Amino acid sequence: MARFKEIKTRIQKYYPDLPKNHKKLADFFINNFDKIPFYSVHDISEATRTSVASVVRFAQRIGFLGFLEMREEISKELQNHISNKEIFSLLDSAATEADTLTIIANQDIKNINETLTQIDRDYFDSTIKMILKAKRVYTVGLGVSNLLAQMLAYQLNQVSIDAHALSHSHSTFLEQMIFLNSNDLIIALSFMPYSIETIDAAKYAKKKKINVISITNSNASPITFSSNANLVVKSENMLFTNSFAAISVLINAITTECALRNKTKAKKMLSELNKIAEMQGMVIVDSHSENQ
């Protein structure tokens, strides 16, 4: 039986060579995995504006006998991988339907719940291993993703990871990547609207045999096709921007796990930061020191 992750990976593997109508179907399947068991071949045909025959041929093209077998495999795996229980409960907004603060909080809670439910733990584990193994880590992103890239690099530095956020100023990402090699690691943050320069940076890294981790909002986003591991985060928002809530949780989880797996270096870094802070008349409080 094909595993849940393997079905997605298989679709992504064939994606670059798929005809246009099959790419449309691939996007639909990847973005609607949890709904596929409830769709008929006619439902998918209508939703994607492709023919029933195209749906069947798409399933066959990625290794199934037909749509029914593909739907059955997805259904079986969803039973094992997706829980309908909320990890965090929503706030009661019945009495204050117009309360924007509650509405936004509920949306962010939903984003975090869906991220924790759907994120691939194997990819998360391999992400941590690649970060700890890399000589240097470079984060990359444009717009809002640039701010997130700087935040991730900063937090990784705090736990003794040699991390740098590529800047977008006098030189392009590709120019800054010329001297990178296979011992380095790229973490690319890419959210809609997807930046061509970030995608090109991932493609360039792949050509140079540099591992790429993508943090994005969809398994079908362009950055995933040049990545060794994809961490998919829900970032839906009321406005035409991305919510930071679930992304911040993921960034914090990555840096925390790196510290937990390399406590000696993390503690040494904390000690050095304390020394610097004392020199500048500040104090860093280690709230976890009593528990370690």
- The parent domain of residue 206 ranges over 121-271
pLDDT of residue 92: 57
Per the DSSP assignment, residues forming a β-bridge with 232 are 216
Q: Does some domain include residue 55?
A: yes
Q: Are residues 264 and 129 in the same domain?
A: yes
Q: Are residues 73 and 190 in the same domain?
A: no
Q: State pTM to two decimals.
A: 0.66
Q: Is pLDDT at 183 greater than 60 in this prediction?
A: yes
Last residue of a domain, one of 81, 109, 143: 81
pLDDT of residue 90: 56
Q: What angle do CA 195, 201, 203 make, to 5 degrees?
A: 105
- CATH code at position 55: 1.10.10.10
Last residue of a domain, one of 54, 81, 108: 81
Q: Which long-range contacts (CB under 8 A, 24 or more apart) does 49-56 make?
A: 49/24, 50/21, 50/24, 50/25, 54/21, 54/22, 54/25, 55/25
Q: How confident is the model at residue 262 (pLDDT cuts 50, 70, 90)?
A: confident
Q: Are residues 142 and 70 in the same domain?
A: no
Q: Are residues 153 and 41 in the same domain?
A: no
- CATH code at position 264: 3.40.50.10490
**From residue 202, how far is each of 35, 47, 135, 214, 218 by CA, in Å?**
30, 31, 18, 9, 16
CB-based burial of residue 245 (10 Å sphere; 0-12 exposed, 13-18 middle, 19+ buried)?
buried
- Locate tokens 């528990």: which residue? 291
**From residue 170, how far is each of 127, 166, 195, 201 by CA, in Å?**
30, 11, 18, 16
Q: Are residues 131 and 267 in the same domain?
A: yes
Q: Are residues 44 and 145 in the same domain?
A: no
What are 104-138's pLDDT values in tens digits?
Answer: 788 888 888 888 877 888 889 999 999 999 999 99
pLDDT of residue 214: 95
Q: Does some domain include residue 173?
A: yes
Q: Does some domain include residue 202?
A: yes
Q: Distance between CA 19 and CA 6 in Å, rounded?
A: 21
Q: Does some domain include residue 265?
A: yes
Q: Are residues 136 and 204 in the same domain?
A: yes
Q: Are residues 196 and 139 in the same domain?
A: yes
Domain count, the chain: 2
Q: Does some domain include residue 177?
A: yes
* Under 8 Å between Cβ of 228 and 205: no
Amino acid letter, 291: N
Q: Are residues 125 and 75 in the same domain?
A: no
